[in-house]
Amino acid sequence: MSVWDISMDSSGRVEFLQALAEGCVLPTAQQGLEQVWQLLLLCLLCRVICRLGVSCHVKHLSSLAGGLYVLYTFFELHMMWVIILCLLCYLILLLSINSSRRGVFLSVVILIYMLMGELHMIDPVTWHKMRGSQMVVAMKAISLAFDLDRGAVSNFPSPLEFMGYLCFPGTIIFGPWISFASYTDAINGCKMSVGWFGKIALSFLRSQICLVISNCIAPYLFPYFIPIYGDGLPRRWLHAYENAVSFHFSNYFVSYLSETTTVMAGAGFSEHKDHIKWDIAVAKPMNVELPRSMVEVVTSWNLPMSKWLNAYVFKSALKLGTFPAILVTYTASALLHGLSFHLGAVLLSLGFITYVEHVLRKRLAAIFSACILSKRCPNDCHHQNKKMVWVYGVNLFFSALSIFHLTYLGSLFDSEMDSMHAEEGYMASHTIQKWSELNWASHWVMFGCFVFYWLI
């Protein structure tokens, strides 16, 4: 009997919670640890080697060897597709060594490679599993190419440096993107400290909590944890919120786990005068679950990727205009995530929603001279109305609207979907069905907001 059946038949909440703990919480936590312990050990080993005072060549080699080992651990022989991408990137950089457009050229080549994989030249299940590592490698290579063009990286990296950077064990599986400069700092090996260990322990604990919430709590949120009932359309919205929360916390799990591996491998710190601060942050869950705006959601979902998209895509496309630059940025994000209809639909919808929200709130802020922009105003802003009750009310309304949009968009990531379909990616019919069940509400609201903006 499943946990769901027990919860339905049980007369008390205690029995349900006990069944949930035994049937889901403990197995989930155990399985999560079993899947990553080798990765954590390799990250620690890489960190120790970088602290031994060996030559830089040995450090880069250890990073490369560790990355290849964890790739094999997770993907076995399918890891060759990631290695091929790494080698292809270096070859392109080498061939265009005298060019000032290496970033654009490499981006096009990577796009073609990704499209070839997405168009089922490789088994879709296998490709989908490797998509995260492929994306991290692509982002690193593209950022390095643009940094070489801009002079941010002065010396062309050797093959060992390049491969060590791309295959850095702290980021090759779960991310996040780190710059070449951050990798170099990690290789130089700052000392281990209580702060370093504390960051690892806290991030790993948070990752496991988020994994448990995603798998064991979010699917049973209503009415077993929050006593809200509903039938028909209300029930569909409650179920959509459960799916959204489950998906959100699966992202937080990966985010905190990537913090753990990155810091354990020696990256993810900043220097503050006379001390080192291990302050890498991949996601800000509170800004997503209780957002001020959809703009805040987008930037807080994956901070390193948001930084990467802003630095290497949005700013490069800004000469086309703000709205075209936003579309280019979200299109680039969709392509990096793969040719998945549901992800593309979500990301492009996000692009339109964030743009409409931004321009509408900017217009309202100008009309009423109030701090109701998508982003929080600085303390010395020129608005006359800052802490009025109605200002808080307007911001609260847009926060609720953001949660509404997130519920709608997150409804696609159905936890009850067949695992094979989830591995291959959801079909277009699934996206259309889910949004049809919710009457395309978010898109209609977005359209209404745009009409309102146009009228005022």
Per DSSP, the three-state class of 140 is helix
Catalytic residue selected from 128, 239, 248, 337: 337
Give how far the C-alpha of residue 335 lies from the chain's centroid of Cα atoms, to the nearest Å. Answer: 14
Please report the pLDDT score of residue 15 as a whole number: 80
* Residue 169, preceding peptide bond in cis (omega within 30° of 0): no
* Phi and psi torsions of 151, nearest 5°: 85, 5
* Phi and psi torsions of 232, nearest 5°: 65, -130
**DSSP string of 43-66, one letter each residue:** HHHHHHHHTTT--HHHHHHHHHHH
* Residue 33 DSSP symbol: H
Residue reference for tokens 């290579």: 141
pLDDT tens digits, 194-210: 999 999 999 999 999 99
Residue 321: how many CA atoms within 13 Å on its side-chain side? 4
Nearest to 172 by CA among 69, 101, 87: 69
Per DSSP, the three-state class of 112 is helix
Listed as own residue / partner, the contacts of 53-56 with beta carbons closer than 8 Å and 24 or more positions apart are 56/187
> Catalytic annotation on 337?
yes
The residues pairing with 370 across neighbouring beta strands, listed in sequence order, are 385
Q: Is-contact 303 262, C-beta < 8 A?
A: no
- The domain locations on the chain are 33-188, 194-283, 303-418+427-455
Look up residue 244 and give its two tokens.
């959204």
The residues pairing with 385 across neighbouring beta strands, listed in sequence order, are 370
The Cα 445–Cα 288 span in angstroms is: 20
Look up residue 164 and give its two tokens.
């060590």
**Integer-rounded Cα radius of gyration of the chain:** 23
Look up residue 432 and give its two tokens.
């259309």
The Cα 105–Cα 100 span in angstroms is: 10
Please report the pLDDT score of residue 95 as a whole number: 93
CB crowding 303-313: b at 16 or more within 10 Å, else e: bbbbebbebbb
The Cα 456–Cα 454 span in angstroms is: 6
* Phi and psi torsions of 314, nearest 5°: -60, -50
Please report the pLDDT score of residue 230 as a whole number: 72
CA-based angle 238:210:261, to the nearest 5? 145
Please report the pLDDT score of residue 416 as a whole number: 59
The Cα 50–Cα 187 span in angstroms is: 6
**DSSP string of 254-302, one letter each residue:** HHHHHHHHHHHTT-S-EEETTEEE----S--HHHHHS-S-HHHHHHHH-
Torsion over CA: 363, 366, 367, 369 (sign): positive
pLDDT tens digits, 381-395: 898 898 899 999 999
The residues pairing with 276 across neighbouring beta strands, listed in sequence order, are 271
Residues in the chain: 456
Give how far the C-alpha of residue 146 lies from the chain's centroid of Cα atoms, to the nearest Å. Answer: 22
The Cα 388–Cα 309 span in angstroms is: 35
Q: Is-contact 284 304, C-beta < 8 A?
A: no
Look up residue 184 and give its two tokens.
């170099």
Look up residue 226 and give its two tokens.
């929050």
Tens-level pLDDT at each residue, the chain (456 residues): 444 444 444 456 778 788 888 888 999 989 888 889 999 999 999 999 999 888 999 999 999 999 999 999 999 998 999 999 999 999 999 999 888 899 999 999 999 988 888 776 677 777 778 889 999 999 999 999 999 999 999 899 999 999 999 999 999 999 999 999 999 999 987 888 899 999 999 999 999 999 999 999 998 888 777 777 777 788 899 999 999 999 999 999 999 999 999 999 999 998 877 788 999 999 999 999 999 999 999 999 999 999 999 999 998 888 888 888 888 898 888 888 877 788 888 988 998 999 999 999 999 999 999 999 999 998 888 988 988 999 999 999 999 999 999 999 999 887 655 444 554 456 678 888 899 999 999 999 999 999 999 998
Question: Which CA distances in Å does 342 have to 43, 72, 148, 314, 412?
Answer: 34, 29, 35, 23, 7
